[in-house]
Amino acid sequence: MLVLGIDPGTAVTGYGLVRQQGSRLTLVGCGGIRTAARQPAPDKLRTIYEALLELMGRYRPACAAVESLFFARNVRSALTLGQARGVALLAAVQRGLPIFEYAPREVKAAVTGYGSAEKEQVRGMVTRLLRLPDLPASLDATDALALAICHCHGAGGGQGRRLLASRRGVRAGRAAWRALKVP
């Protein structure tokens, strides 16, 4: 099973692809989708959306894992983060991927055994669990890889994961939208 972890952000959206075969986890790819600071917000969103669509089309992961509605410093940064998360979810649902979400504590606990682990500790364990010679080249991808690993661990035991959108939901749940009102 190939799992895509996504860590949305306006400046950098991290992604990590992890294959699970039995208890063995392998890194398939990881990196960051970077936007230029000078780009207007809608163009950044388009860059993120199209890069994720391309990634999903190229690697055909079985599912996607994202952080559950996360904590933001303030309302303004929450709005900006929400925009990036919105186009990431849109890309996944358009590719028909089931989407799972995990709380930050769950991710840390799944990777390090400790829900309040520091970033360094998470990074170290991601490296060990994926048997990498070194820390992931792209630090942007650490959280995304941790998310993918968290899903692989949970997918065995089934505990702690929450389904945000299933394949069936994608097909069945489409709401009709009101016809235009032209007086």
Work out whether 168 is an interface residue with its own copies (CB under 8 A): no
In the bound state with its own copies, the residue whose beta carbon lies nearer, of 96 and 156, is 96
Work out whether 53 is an interface residue with its own copies (CB under 8 A): no
Work out whether 95 is an interface residue with its own copies (CB under 8 A): no
Q: Which residue has the tokens 């936007």?
A: 35
What phi, psi does 98 have (nearest 5°)? -65, 140
CA distance 89 to 78: 16
CA distance 42 to 52: 15
Q: Least CB distance from residue 6 to its own copies, whole Å?
A: 12
Work out whether 183 is an interface residue with its own copies (CB under 8 A): yes
What phi, psi does 137 have (nearest 5°)? -50, -40
Which is the catalytic residue, given 54, 101, 120, 140?
140
CA distance 5 to 156: 17
**What residue type is 144 in one-letter code?**
A
7 is known as an active-site residue: yes
Q: Which of 21, 23, 24, 74 binds its own copies (CB under 8 A)?
A: 74
176, two tokens: 């009709």
User: CA 28 from chain center: how many Å?
Assistant: 15
Q: Least CB distance from residue 113 to its own copies, whole Å?
A: 25
Catalytic residues: 7, 67, 140
Q: Give the interface with its own copies as residue ranges (CB under 8 A).
A: 27-36, 38-47, 49, 51, 55, 69-72, 74-76, 78-87, 89-90, 92-94, 99, 132-133, 136-138, 141, 163-166, 169-170, 173-175, 177-183
